[in-house]
Amino acid sequence: MPIAAFKRALICACLPLLLALPSQAQTSTVAPPAQEAVQAPSRDEILATMKRAARFMIEEAAVNGGYVWQYLPDFSRRWGELEANKTMIWVQPPGTATVGHLFLDAFHATGDAWYLDSAMKTADALIKGQLESGGWNYVIDTAGEDSLKRWYDTYGKNAWRMEEFHHYYGNGTFDDAGTAEATQFLMRLYLEKKDKGIKKALDKALGFILDAQYPNGGWPQRYPLVKDGGVHGRPDYTGYITFNDDVSGENLEVLIFAYQVLGDKKLIDPIRRGMDIFIATQQPQPQPAWGLQHRTDDLKPTAARTYEPEAFATHTTANNIKQLLNFYRLTGDAKYLARVPEALDWLDKVQSPPSLRTQGRTHPTFLAIGTDKPLYLHRRGSNVVNGEYYTSDSPNEVIAHYGSFRSINMAALRAEYQKLAATKGTDVSKGSPLLAKPGTYKLPRYFTLRDVDVFDMMQAGQPEPAAADKLGELVTGLNPRGYWPVKLTTISNPYIGDGPATPTGGEYRATRVGDLYDTSPYYTDYPVEGISTAVFVKNMGELIKALGGK
């Protein structure tokens, strides 16, 4: 359930940015002379560096208090998951709410009310972009809905592999933790400020999560539900019960936090139903697994985007096993462990053959319903107009932007299950934030320094700071303008119009981007200097850790 864990994964998958630190010298065969111990920067130097970096982001990078993921230094181009208009801000992590969390962390570490005021400005940006339903879309366009629709009809529609942006739904999404992270940020800020405006927005956000939940406990990907919006001739998938990107787990984390710190006992029932849908959707033998999404009527796996077939998903099954183990820790109820061994045995059975277990890959991503045959992902064409995705039994020339293979640590999963199964439920769940009286625990003090989940309410402390030399590099590496320069290793083609119906020259089966009409982001061999929100948050976090939380 950790939002921060997902956020780190998202950064690694979509924005492989280089940390803004000087490169290390090449290894030498000659032993270097002994050096004196490096002295860490002083507290005043760290505080000054943090303030300069934060001031740059607020005064130069922000749009009405909100942020995207990365920028060129002259701000002529900027990106979230796709290239953004100059009037857009990103909700999806690591965007606006992520920066808001960082400002709150900085306030807690320094006691400087300037950071709390900065967090309020960031919250204002999110509140202005909050939908009437209470949730958020991936993005907010401060120029208004017409401007956002034009973006969807240009950049969004032509990003071949980014099918979630091909259609403007006009509703909120639980995908990629945007709504969940924004809600948690508002919850933290309300507990600091007790501001009525923040409370109103927080109540709307929590109401959105509750309104969207099905009676059986599942959550759709988007809400309110729509009657159209399917992509490439397929039915709309956004109303199905969604496990992809841990939608259900993220919502449960928000509700458990809210139950404990806001004291709303009405949240217990939706939390229990939200956990029980994991049991209800696990399929019977001989395939006791889960898909990315499940239908709401018969609870069977179903297809989503055109490269997400109707199939069982090994990584989703592994994540759902982890969630069931968490639910046992939260409740002590053995029903959450009852069928875990079946799922573990199935994952063992469907492992890839040794010849395909390279680079840490252990499992195919998708297995056919009824046969357990791997479904490998392919595409043909050159852009979203003439291209299409399909599956086959060939593991060769698979698409690059969505893995046909996964790495699952089966030994760790089994060890955790066996440890919990050998322990009494009452012992496992002792002190659980779900069973403890509301108000027993506070929210974790820091949200951007490490992975955070509901169990962090039960423990204090923060990670160890970086070594003195690394801290020194962070202080000296901040450039005169006030940002840490990075190499932007992802880029995208600018929008030049809709693509042609006939494929253009070139081979795009295994590339991350198609022809020049494809606006999807891709890795570049010619990175340029830029500004990264993710690196700003990461480096500020290292400096915060060095302060020791004082």
DSSP codes of every residue in 49-68 = HHHHHHHHIIIII-BTTB--
Query: What band does 5 get if pLDDT is binned at 50, 70 and 90?
Result: very low
Tell me the average pLDDT across 122-149. 98
- pLDDT at site 36: 58
Confidence of residue 519 (pLDDT cuts 50, 70, 90): very high
Distances, alpha carbon 472 to alpha carbons 42, 463, 466, 543, in Å:
9, 18, 10, 10
Say if residue 380's pLDDT is above 60.
yes
pLDDT more than 70, % of the chain: 92
C-alpha 120/C-alpha 113 separation (Å) is: 11
Structure tokens that stand for 430 in this block: 């002792």
Residues 394-435 pLDDT 10s = 999 999 999 999 999 999 999 999 999 999 999 999 999 999
Instruction: For residue 125, give both structure tokens.
Output: 């940006």
Alpha helices (H) in 170-312, listed in sequence order: 178-193, 196-212, 247-262, 268-281
Where are any strands of DSSP class E within 37-135?
70-71, 78-79, 88-90
Q: Report pTM.
A: 0.93
The total number of residues written for the chain in this structure: 550
Identify the pLDDT of residue 17: 36
Contact 253, 454 (CB under 8 A): yes
Question: Could you count the other beta carbons within 10 Å of the beta carbon of residue 233?
Answer: 7
- 8 Å CB contact between 172 and 137: yes
Asked whether the predicted pLDDT for residue 357 surpasses 70, the reply is: yes
The predicted model gives 484-510 an average pLDDT of: 96
As a whole number of angstroms, the distance between CA 503 and CA 505 comes to 7
Contacts of 120 (CB under 8 A, 6+ apart): 189, 193, 195
Residue 229 confidence (pLDDT):
67
Residue 526 host element (H or E): strand 521-532
At 6, is the pLDDT very low, low, confident or very high (cuts 50, 70, 90)?
Answer: very low
Does residue 51 contact residue 106 with C-beta atoms inside 8 Å?
no
* Average pLDDT for 161-165: 97
Q: Which of 469, 499, 359 is nearest to 40 (CA)?
A: 469
> CB under 8 Å to 362, separation ≥6 — which residues?
351, 352, 405, 406, 407, 408, 410
Please tell me whether the peptide bond between 224 and the residue prior to it is cis, using omega within 30 degrees of 0.
yes
The pLDDT of residue 189 is above 90? yes
- Res 550 pLDDT > 90: no
Q: Is residue 10 scored above 60 in pLDDT?
A: no
Supply the mean pLDDT for the chain.
93
Q: What is the pLDDT of residue 34?
A: 52
Where does the pLDDT of residue 235 fall: very low under 50, low under 70, confident under 90, or very high at 90 and above?
confident
Per-residue pLDDT for 363 more than 90? Answer: yes
pLDDT tens digits for 81-134?
999 999 999 999 999 999 999 999 999 999 999 999 999 999 999 999 999 999
Backbone angles phi, psi at 206, to 5 degrees: -65, -40
Model confidence band, residue 29 (pLDDT cutoffs 50, 70, 90)? very low
pLDDT per position as a tens digit, 440-474 = 999 999 999 988 999 999 987 667 888 999 999 99
**Cα 425 to Cα 212: distance, rounded to the nearest angstrom:** 31
Q: Does domain 3-20+55-546 have CATH number 3.60.15.10?
A: no
Distance CA 521, CA 80 (A): 10
DSSP characters for 471-498?
A: HHHHHHHS-TTSS--EEEEEEEPPP-SP
